[in-house]
Each structure stands twice: as C-alpha cells, then as structure tokens.
Structure 1
Amino acid sequence: MFDLKELERAHGIVGKAVPPTPAHAWPLLAERLGTRVIVKHENHTPTSAFKVRGGLVYLDRLKRERPNTPGIISATRGNHGQSLAFAAGRHGLPVTIYVPHGNSAEQNRAIRGFGAELVEHGEDFQAAREEAYRRAETNGLEIVPAFHPDLVLGVATYALELLRRAPDLDVLYVPIGQGSGICGCILARDLLGLKTEIIGVQSTEAPSFALSFAAGAVVTTKTSNTRADGVATRIPDADAVAIICKGASRVVQVTDDEIASAMRAYWTDTHNLAEGAGAVALAAALQEKKKLQGKRVGLVLSGGNIDFDRFRRWVGPDAVAADQPAMA
C-alpha cells in the first residue's frame, strides 16, 4: 500500500498540524496488568482521536491532484467526521458529514465546530453512509470512504511514532472500527521489520471483523449495538479484512461491561478520559492478562470523545471501587 519513504513523508504532513502524541508507561496500569505496558495517547490530538492523521493526508493529496474539487462528503459516528472537518478547514474546502440519528451530541457539536455541514440520517452508520454516497453522486461531491489507502497511510504515522520509540513491544492491542488503525499498525510494523504481535479488538455486540478474521473473508452482521460507537461496524471493508487476516495474530472480542471497566481503569490509573472504542485495547489486555506475563504490551488509546452523560452512565461512582486493583 505504501513504502517507508511515503510513510515518513506522511508523518511530515501530519506533523504540521499534529505534534507526535505521547507514549507513556503508567505504573498503575502495569500493576493492574501484572506486566510492562505502554499507552499510545491518540486522545491527545487536536480532535482527541487518531483519525485526524488520515484526514490530513487524504486532503493533502486531494488538493494537490484535484485542486478544483468543489467539496467533500462522508459519513461517521464522530471521529472520522471531525478528522475531515479539521483537515478540510485547513484547505478552505467545504465538507458535509452525515451521522445517524441519536449520534453523540458532543461529537456533532465538534464536527460543526470545525466548520462542517452536519446532516442526521438513518438509524445506524451504514444507513448514514449509504445516504452520503447518494448525495455525493447527486451533487458532484468527493465521497471520502471510511477506509482508503490515504487514510491508512495517515493513521499509520502514529504506529511509526510508537514502534520507533518502543521497537521491543511484544504485543500491541489495537481497536477495530473501520480498520484503518490496525491496518496502519500492521503495515508500519512490517516496514520497520519488527516482530510485534498485533491483536485487533472488537465488541461482542459488533463482531463483524472478528467473524471475518475467523472466516478469512468478509462477514457482515445485521446489528452493531455496542455502546462503543467507534467500533460499531456491520459491514467490514474487504481490503481491510485482507490486511488484517494476513498481518494480525487474532481479533479479541470484549463485552460492553469489560469496556466500561477499562474506561474506569484509564481514569483511575492515568487520569485520561477514554471513549468506549479508545478503551477496548485495555479491555482486551485485561481479559488476556494471564497470557501477558513477562511481555511488554502496547495499548492504543485511540480517542477520548465521549459525551459527559454517556461517560457518567458507563462509569458511575458506585462501580469505581469494584475495579480498583488489590494493593499489597
């Protein structure tokens, strides 16, 4: 999909707007997991999520190769839309973003805040995406898919940062929503010639990529009812499935309760706010804790965009004490 020179060039493009994000070794998380752990903080970007990197690289190529494009359009549950709105604003390009009804109110405000026209349509992401494609064809707009080589190239820059800082990671847990993040990690690892085991993570309520990985081909689901909207995918991209099947070790499924516990752990152990999708990597590591002893573990905290009310419902004060690790 790209070589190391292209990845480094993309890192330069991203770096004009997004400084390298931190990768911290948190002692309380290490105590909780019983092994060494490093967290890549993609919740520390201008949009509080990793996808901004992909938007910047996509828009850079678009403006160079098709400067007369009248505008872009896409569908999202939040972070992808913020990414495109942020990047398009830097180029003065109009952007329209479709979201499903009931989408995060705070995500919607953020997308509008970056200058996008926001349209609510349908009951889930797939319905919003299909309508965005119809409007793109009708109005002559550039449709930006949820998975595209330039999006993967952009988000792979966080993997480049992490794996160059910590080339001795034994295992890296990565959330899977539309697939750009884990595919970027797989490709960056391979370009750097490393042996890090990459493990994808999905919700048990939206397991399309997990099912596809097991089958070795695209498997769709009828619903995606997880509260972690960033990983609520019903129809996986075939190219993403191919890369994941070739380069990932496995795909772990975690429950919404496990995700909520991981969100609480991030808050209590690091004082970082993680959205549901941002916490799934830690949820999977906690589920596989016994397998990780003696290994150096990487976790991608992919984003921190969650409504306050939703966070309060997921992470109530009565539940915090139950998740505290026992102290010696």
Structure 2
Amino acid sequence: MTAALVRHPLARSTGALVGRAGLEAARDMLADLLAPTAQHSWPLLDAATGCSVSVKHENHNPTGAFKVRGGLVYTTHLKAERPGLTGVVCATRGNFGQSIALAARRVGLSATIVVPHGNNPEKNAAMRAYGATLIEHGDDFVAASEHARARAAEQGLHPVPSFHPWLVAGVGTYGLELFTAAPDLDAVFVPIGMGSGICGLISARNALGLSTRIYGVVSETVDAYRRSFLAGTPVSCDSADTIADGIAVRVPHPDALEAILGGAEDVLTVTDDEIRAAMGLYFTATHNVAEGAGAAPLAALRRYRDALGLAGKRVGLILSGGNADRALFADVLSRATP
C-alpha cells in the first residue's frame, strides 16, 4: 500500500491540506509573478546516489526558496480582505522573511521582520534589501516569534503566521509543477521547517491522485517533527543548534503535524556532517548552491536509500533553498571530496 492511501494510525482529520481547486487558484494567481522552476536530472547525482534523481530547483526562485510562493499568495489575499492595512510583521530564520518582505512590498505593505540574534547575516541583508525593517531579538525562532506578536499588538501590524492554508496553497504550487512533470516518482524527500513545504507537497500528490511516498527530513539535533511523528502529537525539543537554519524548528505546528501524520511515509533525521556532505555533492555534481535545509533531502536519500528500498528507483529531491552564507559554504567546499 502507499502513503497516498494509508494514514498514520494516530492521524486525525486536518484542514491543513489544500484541495486541487485551491492549488490551481494559487497557481493562477502566481502565473504572472513567478516562472515555474525546473526539474532536472543530473548524471553525476544519479551515480552518487544509485537512484534516478529528479531535483526540483526551488533554489531558482526569487529569494532562493519555495517560501516566496506562499508569501505572495498570503499577502495578496490579505490585502484584498483588508485594504486599509498598512503593515505586517513576522518571525523568521531567513527564507520566510525574505518571501514576506518581497511580497509585502509588491502589495504596498510595510514589513517588519524579527530574527534571533546570530541569524545568517546574508539572509538579514537580503531582507533589508527587499525593504523590510529588521529586528534581532532572542536566541531562537520561538523567542523571535514571541517578540513579533508583541510588536503586532503594540504597532497595529498584522502578524503573519509561519503556517497557514494560504501559505500551503502558494507553496503547494511547486508540488503541482513537480508531479505534473514527473508523475512516476517512487518517492520524494522534502525538508520540514514549520511545515508548509511538506504540506503543500502532500496536497499536490493527493490532488493528482498519485501514490508517491513522501519523506520529511529534519536535523538530528532539532528533531521536534520526528519526535512528534513517532508520538502522534506535538512534541517540542530543546535544541535549535544546526547549520540548517531553515529546519531549526523546536515547536511543531499542530495542524502541520496532522497533515504529516496522514500523508507522509516517515520523518527522517540527518546529521550536520551529512548535510555538509550533501551541500558539497550538490555543488560538484550540479554546480548549484544548496543551503543546509536545501541539502537535507539529498543527505537523507544517501543515508536511508537501502533501508527504504530505493536503490535504482525514481526519486525526487526538493532543493529549497539556496541561501548558504559565504563562510559556511567556503568551509563546506574545503571539506568536499571531488
């Protein structure tokens, strides 16, 4: 049986997924704003993994990640519903904030973005370049989120959530593109941050009636979604320590978890060393830059291929995003084996 037909035994009904009509409406909304991203096969990547790999290049989007799809759909809906609104605020580790900054500017809203101290300096610079007011607060995403909510109350700003059906609908358009171009994939690996990416992928798989297995990927040191998948209920973790800031989420979103329980085959963990190796492999095999979260799916395929029976199979990898900072990427390349 397949992941499209079998629900996790502890899953409940969920409103986190989006139906085909919602995905197609989001696709039509984005048609004049974003070009579809490519699915590429790379012979050197096939040789390195022992699979027939199709990479969905969400790193080629503006902002370098699939988040921009959701940001544009969310702010477009928001402005239509609240034409008098002047500004939004959100918390982020980088890619989500870039998407909201870009999208807010497009619809005529100000954007205030809260990041934790020590956040990726190049992502911070990119958010400022898109016109956002950037605030550094707290030591992790949870603390930044609390401060963003306080700012919203104090300044009359709309707090943009990190997970919402409008975000899932926008992000899910990449799944429509992937599965329309490659409907015969046996499995797809996708990173899990707050959950819009994997929920969008599950939504698209289900909407098209496919049986592709979907595997979420998290850091071994920030494994809240792995713990939650096993428990069938949200379980937080204490650490946010990983080089993959896009998946450094300590507190799962309950709606996202419900969708993952019902639609994902498993949630897998990878180490930072495995992520570094995957970042290096992406560069040597495809000459694409992958940040930690973007490389995590490739790391998971390499680690779990045999255990999951995927040798020689058709596998999709979601490369989102491509915003590795210079110092980290230089370190990765210095260690990479040609």
TM-score normalised over the length of structure 2: 0.93
- Per-residue deviation at 1:223? 1.4
Q: For 1:188, which of 201, 204, 212 is the aligned residue?
A: 204
Which ranges of structure 1 fall in alignment gaps of 5 or more residues? Answer: none
- Per-residue deviation at 1:91? 1.0
SS at match of 2:246: helix
Is structure 2 residue 290 aligned with structure 1 residue 299?
no
CA distances 1:148-182 after superposition (whole Å, capped 9, x unpaired): 11111110000000000000000000000111000
> In structure 2, what is the Cα distance between the partners aligned to 1:156 and 1:94?
26
Is structure 2 residue 93 aligned with structure 1 residue 77?
yes
Instruction: Find the counterpart in structure 2 of residue 12 from structure 1.
Output: 28
Q: Which amino acid aligns with 1:301?
A: L
Structure 1 runs (4+) greater than 4 angstroms displaced: none
Q: For 2:113, which of 87, 97, 104 is the aligned residue?
A: 97
Q: Which amino acid aligns with 1:184?
A: G
SS at match of 1:292: coil
Is structure 2 residue 181 aligned with structure 1 residue 165?
yes
Q: For 2:41, which of 16, 25, 30 is the aligned residue?
A: 25
Instruction: Find the counterpart in structure 2 of residue 308 from structure 1.
Output: 326
- Per-residue deviation at 1:306? 1.5
Over aligned residue pairs, what C-alpha RMSD do you find? 0.9
> In structure 1, what is the Cα distance between the partners aligned to 2:302 and 2:52?
13
CA distances 1:24-62 after superposition (whole Å, capped 9, x unpaired): 011111111112110000000111111000000001101
Contact 2:18 2:168 in 1 (8 A): no
> In structure 2, what is the Cα distance between the partners aligned to 1:303 and 1:14?
19
- Mapping of residues 109-188 of structure 1, within 5 Å: 109-188=125-204
> In structure 2, what is the Cα distance between the partners aligned to 1:114 and 1:133?
22
Alignment coverage as a number of residue pairs: 320
Is structure 2 residue 18 aligned with structure 1 residue 2?
yes
Q: For 1:64, which of 80, 83, 90 is the aligned residue?
A: 80
Q: Which amino acid aligns with 1:297?
A: V
TM-score normalised over the length of structure 1: 0.96
SS at match of 2:183: coil
Contact 2:68 2:96 in 1 (8 A): yes
> In structure 1, what is the Cα distance between the partners aligned to 2:29 and 2:126?
23
- Per-residue deviation at 1:5? 1.9
Instruction: Find the counterpart in structure 2 of residue 107 from structure 1.
Output: 123
SS at match of 1:185: helix
Q: Which amino acid aligns with 1:166?
A: A
Identity within the alignment, %: 54
Q: Which amino acid aligns with 1:47?
A: T
- Per-residue deviation at 1:15? 2.5
Q: Which amino acid aligns with 2:271?
A: T
Is structure 2 residue 45 aligned with structure 1 residue 45?
no
